[in-house]
Structure 1
Amino acid sequence: MCTACEWAPHFASVGAPATPRISAPAARDAVTDASGTDADFVFHHGRVYTVDSERPWAEAVAVRGEVIVQVGDDAAALALAGPHTRVIDLDGRLLMPGFVEGHIHPFLGAFLSNGVDLQVPTEDDALAAIAAYAAEHPDGPVRGFGWRVDMFGPDGPTRQSLDSVLPDRPGFFFAIDAHSMWANSKALEVAGVGRDTPDPVPGFSYYARDADGDPTGYLLEIDAVLGLVNANDPISTDGMRRMLEQWLPRAAQAGITAVFDAGVPPVGAEQADVIALYADIEREGKLPFRVVASYTVKSPPFDDAVTRFTEARERVCTELVQVGMVKIVGDGTQGGYTAWLLEPYADKADSIGGSPFTETQWHQLVDEIDAAGIDMHIHACGERTARVALDALEAAIAANPARDRRHTIAHLVYLGGEDSARFGASGIGAQFSANWFSADPDTVVNMAARYGAPRKDNFYRVQDVLRTGGRVSLGTDWPAAGYFSTYKPLDSIQIGVTRQLIGEPDAEILSPAEQRLTVAQAVHANTLGAAHQIRMADQIGSVEVGKRADLIVLDRNILDGDPHDIHRAKVTVTMMNGRIVHESGTD
């Protein structure tokens, strides 16, 4: 599921120029009243969902500079309109806070998903999409992302089928899990992969072969995959930035105004090399969202973790971009039997998975980071990882001086015993990717096989966390997925509310059905809840006077209507920091 950490070491050899420390420009003082000069924007005649529990609804908003200066009725907001104010008639549409993505990988997602979208039902559909894309893009290699293993037989995809639509141009396509690839004969030829080519890591990362020993076009794991990519379309700093910039307008169109980047691939020797690219884009006025990035620790030794995080934080610090947390990769995923479980896998009874850290190391690492006053974001797909992380965090909180902490544990596929209740008691945040909550084939077949009954019927128990006072944030974890990869918060919100795949209102509901979120809960988790996680709830996440003008307008009210239609809502305006970064169909 979470792929950035698998990919990270393989980018380390890619060169990146040294980047000096980037300083924050002076920010304007927040305006906290409606007096003074005219507003720059007035949104009126709408439904304003503020996500402010004390005043959840209004009908108009005024913005001056980067700040919201009025939230209330039409008359009060229009009173601030002057000759240069842009007045936008919402005509009954919904205005709400911009989405805050609590766990996403923009660089990795832009890199992997560049090209053809292959999240389609069958191999024939995939081939048709590839052929159409190739016709529209007649030069260079053809690449794409999103095919699923269940589209093919047990031996996986073949180069011959790709050759039927791409006979003379390299073509290579990432699977939705980002751990395997489908390549055509030309791509294999350019990479020098043939019958006599040794596998990069025999038995782990390799080229699937036919009965004659020839590569079939199915490549497994990152070493083999990345070798082919580099031979056909070499990875570079400029390339990573170019692909991100191509994706940024889509993020704005999806209504994303802030992100927690939960792990970047390090281009060059330092993770900060890639994080600094955000700041470069910001300087050019092209960054449509705020970024709180993380410094990742994935295995021992970790004695320099605090120092390396501090260096990254000091090096990249601008108005919109900062390094805010240490990301700890606590285990792997259930699909690869590397998530750390409390009881053995149902289909591999001799294994409970594992963690890169012993329990002693867990406590040492967490205590050192907490003692330095740094927040942590912990990858925990397995329930033992979640429990050990809770144990280590609670011990550190008890041992170290009191402070305002924002520690978070992410993914939480399954929680054992009473662990759900510990989030509320400890103040530790629970981060979920609601777009994983559907009864899709990966969950009800593959994940069910890993866990068996009764565990398979108790995944993603988000209401258990909320009922016991825990804080919940949402983030898509794009591009990582088992079945449905999306960066769109509206997709994630709908699945969190229905626990069904998008597109079929009568689709199977993932058990337990009572864990479905309300629309208000899901919106809160993807706005104010995620803003709290990244220490920005005093600035963004709700529509309140004095907060930054990070706002979106939707063409329908997603809080009132069939939840199966939430994904159909269109973001017609995205405003970040008082600047419109996406607009379509407005007055």
Structure 2
Amino acid sequence: MSAADLIVQADRMHTMDPARPSAEAVAIKDGVIVGVGDRTSARTWRGAGTEVIDLGDATVTPGLVDGHIHPVLGLDLARGVELSHVRSVPQLISELRERGTGPGGWILGWGLDPNAFGSTAITHAPLVEALGDVPALVVLFDAHSAIASPAALRLAGITGARAFDGAAEVVCADDGTPTGHLVELPAYELVRAVVPTESLPERRSRLLALLRGMAATGITAGNAMDFDGDAEPLVAGLAEEADLPIRLRFAPMCMPGAGRAELDHLLDQQRLRGRRWQVEGVKFMIDGTIDGGTAWLEQPDRFGESTAPFWPEPRAYTEAIRRLAAAGVPTATHAIGDAGIRYVLDALRELPAAPTRVPHRIEHIETVPTELIARFREQNVTASMQPTHCTLYTKADHSDNWSHRLGTERANRAFRTRDLRAAGARLALGSDWPVAPFDARAVIADAQLRRPHGQPEVERVLPDQALTARMALEGYTTHAAAAAGLESVSGRIAEGLRADLSAFGLDPLSAPPDEFADSPVRLTVVEGSIVHRAAA
């Protein structure tokens, strides 16, 4: 072969390729892997212009792929002060008091765990106590609900209940006055619409910083579950200015009430692509969240909620995915509750054989009965899950809001990653940023631990659902590639495949997960280009 552009060498390479499971060197030319072998064979790949990087006692894997992120929507949701560490209402008040006003005099916050309210109702009372009559919007951690101050509600013209196409709600007191709690995106979008916006250059700068941060944790690609608003000029413009630090595969949202015009637009968007980004797929939501009382459960939660789908007429959802699938468009459906998961599986089973090479997906899958587990493999449906949703937001003693709402039986069938793998299902792992941190090392660690990494004192949540180290790594490599229909293109270190690599100071297959979560990321390579390199 002709001389390589880049040769990466390390003491360990987990290729994830059964034909050659391990190696010490990989050669890259024109963004493609052209050689895999030991350090000795690497000598024959060199030329005068070849860059050689020897990482020594490091471990190289195929490039990690996050199965579920929101990089565009997240720019809006993750504005202002991060509140994920807040554990009580007094702490929330204290945190808000310390923050100066933001754009247009607004106070913005995100990542607030509803468990901070304990058994009390979620209202804007803490915002009023902390800030007075100031416009404020705090997005809760699941990004499916928010709290707006009275001033923000006035600016948005919200004076009482509203009717929505989907399962959204402006929560009101008995006298009809809004409490500030806005459930689901269509409700709090009314307030977001009046929040001062950033300029497109500012948003491009923030998106670039976000993607660079992801690359610094070993991520080389992400399945982006959004492409709405200014996404096209934002992403396309950034890609024209500089190479994106990671590949992005977008699935724009289809909301309840979508008619022929909206579906035609989603079909038109599938042609959009550029260097390191493309639109491929459509994102649906069949339900909301358990924490917010908007999931679709077969039996109500303990508060009598989570009884209905996000789509008021579920058959409209079925017809929408049927039309898209007939055109070869893969779908990804958010389904958290048991009734929602069952309905989506049934709807996908009704579809005729589709010409798409990409399997349909179900996202999140938080509580699922045993009889549905085998259907993921039987129907060739990808299970896309986020282990840190379990480890960060639920507790083994069921004292958290999520578990309390479900009750013991349903909370004990939570986040069944190991059962899905045991049944032969394809399992793609991810973060759901900004709902949870995007650090891939943390997700891989928590998938094995079933508790937050670095906190050995915390009791594990359903430890029999823990993944092995290899399963966790597969969720970011081989299974991620198969989920995108790219088994022959990526997910392994093998000749002819994409030159996407991640290199760590510790071995993800043998290091204790708590330690791997803090492993240095030595190198990240996308398409043969170095997008992250640790300082020497």
The answer to whether the 8 A contact 1:362-1:388 is kept is no
Residues of 2 paired with 1:536 and 1:303: CA distance? 30
Residue 254 (structure 1) shift? 1.9
Alignment of 1:315-464 (within 5 A): 316-341=272-297, 343-349=298-304, 352-356=307-311, 358=313, 360-396=315-351, 399-400=352-353, 404-438=357-391, 440-441=393-394, 444=398, 445-464=400-419
Question: Which deviates the most, 278-287 or 573-582?
Answer: 278-287
Residues of 2 paired with 1:298 and 1:231: CA distance? 21
Residues of 1 paired with 2:263 and 2:138: CA distance? 38
Residues of 1 paired with 2:147 and 2:258: CA distance? 35
Residue 469 (structure 1) shift? 1.9
SS at match of 2:273: coil
User: What is the aligned partner in structure 2 of residue 253 from structure 1?
Assistant: 216
Distance 1:541 1:279, change over 3 A: farther
Residue 170 (structure 1) shift? 7.6
Residue 201 (structure 1) shift? 4.2
Q: 1:148 aligns with which of 113, 120, 126?
A: 113
SS at match of 1:277: helix
The answer to whether the 8 A contact 2:10-2:60 is kept is no
SS at match of 1:43: strand
The answer to whether the 8 A contact 1:439-1:510 is kept is no
Q: After superposition, what is the alpha-carbon deviation per residue over 1:61-85, rounded to whole angstroms, capped at 9, x for unaligned?
A: 1222311122110111233223332
The yes-or-no answer on 1:467 pairing with 2:425 is no
Residues of 1 paired with 2:300 and 2:211: CA distance? 40
SS at match of 2:257: coil
The answer to whether the 8 A contact 1:199-1:224 is kept is no
Alignment of 1:157-556 (within 5 A): 158-159=126-127, 162-163=130-131, 173-179=138-144, 198-199=159-160, 201=162, 204-205=169-170, 220-221=182-183, 231=194, 233-234=196-197, 237-264=200-227, 266-267=228-229, 273-304=230-261, 307-314=264-271, 316-341=272-297, 343-349=298-304, 352-356=307-311, 358=313, 360-396=315-351, 399-400=352-353, 404-438=357-391, 440-441=393-394, 444=398, 445-480=400-435, 485-511=436-462, 513-556=463-506
Q: 2:47 aligns with which of 82, 98, 110?
A: 82
Among the aligned pairs, what percent are the same residue? 28
Residues of 2 paired with 1:350 and 1:76: CA distance? 63
Count of aligned pairs:
525
Residues of 1 paired with 2:103 and 2:226: CA distance? 34
SS at match of 1:437: helix
SS at match of 1:585: coil
Any gaps of 5 or more consecutive residues in structure 1?
1-34, 268-272
Q: After superposition, what is the alpha-carbon deviation per residue over 1:8-27, rounded to whole angstroms, capped at 9, x for unaligned?
A: xxxxxxxxxxxxxxxxxxxx
Distance 1:82 1:366, change over 3 A: same
Distance 1:328 1:119, change over 3 A: closer
Residues of 2 paired with 1:208 and 1:245: CA distance? 42
Q: After superposition, what is the alpha-carbon deviation per residue over 1:112-160, rounded to whole angstroms, capped at 9, x for unaligned?
A: 223433222546766787788869x999866442232333463656246
Question: Counterpart amino acid of 2:66?
Answer: E
Residue 515 (structure 1) shift? 1.4
The yes-or-no answer on 1:102 pairing with 2:67 is yes
User: What is the aligned partner in structure 2 of residue 21 from structure 1?
Assistant: none
Distance 1:122 1:337, change over 3 A: closer
The answer to whether the 8 A contact 1:173-1:183 is kept is yes
SS at match of 2:448: helix
Residue 499 (structure 1) shift? 0.9
Residues of 2 paired with 1:406 and 1:214: CA distance? 46
SS at match of 2:238: helix
Residue 57 (structure 1) shift? 1.5
Question: Which deviates the most, 109-118 or 227-236?
Answer: 227-236
The answer to whether the 8 A contact 2:500-2:525 is kept is yes
Question: Which deviates the most, 247-256 or 174-183?
Answer: 174-183
Distance 1:350 1:575, change over 3 A: closer
SS at match of 1:158: helix
Q: After superposition, what is the alpha-carbon deviation per residue over 1:469-489, rounded to whole angstroms, capped at 9, x for unaligned?
A: 211111211123xxxx21122
TM-score by length of 2: 0.86
Distance 1:231 1:452, change over 3 A: closer
Q: After superposition, what is the alpha-carbon deviation per residue over 1:255-295, rounded to whole angstroms, capped at 9, x for unaligned?
A: 2211111123x32xxxxx51453222112124111121113
Distance 1:433 1:317, change over 3 A: same
TM-score by length of 1: 0.79
Residues of 2 paired with 1:431 and 1:575: CA distance? 24
Residues of 2 paired with 1:552 and 1:422: CA distance? 33
Alignment of 1:32-111 (within 5 A): 35-37=1-3, 39-111=4-76
The answer to whether the 8 A contact 2:110-2:139 is kept is yes
Residues of 1 paired with 2:323 and 2:408: CA distance? 39
Distance 1:520 1:118, change over 3 A: same
SS at match of 1:296: coil
Q: After superposition, what is the alpha-carbon deviation per residue over 1:427-484, rounded to whole angstroms, capped at 9, x for unaligned?
A: 221111121222744783222223223221111112222222211111211123xxxx
Residues of 2 paired with 1:350 and 1:152: CA distance? 18
Residue 180 (structure 1) shift? 5.1
SS at match of 2:332: strand
The answer to whether the 8 A contact 2:392-2:451 is kept is yes
The answer to whether the 8 A contact 1:107-1:244 is kept is yes
Residue 104 (structure 1) shift? 1.1
SS at match of 1:279: helix
Distance 1:307 1:60, change over 3 A: same
Any gaps of 5 or more consecutive residues in structure 2?
none
Residues of 1 paired with 2:99 and 2:497: CA distance? 43
Question: Counterpart amino acid of 2:331?
Answer: M
The answer to whether the 8 A contact 1:62-1:69 is kept is yes
The answer to whether the 8 A contact 2:83-2:111 is kept is yes
The answer to whether the 8 A contact 1:103-1:261 is kept is yes
The answer to whether the 8 A contact 1:93-1:557 is kept is yes
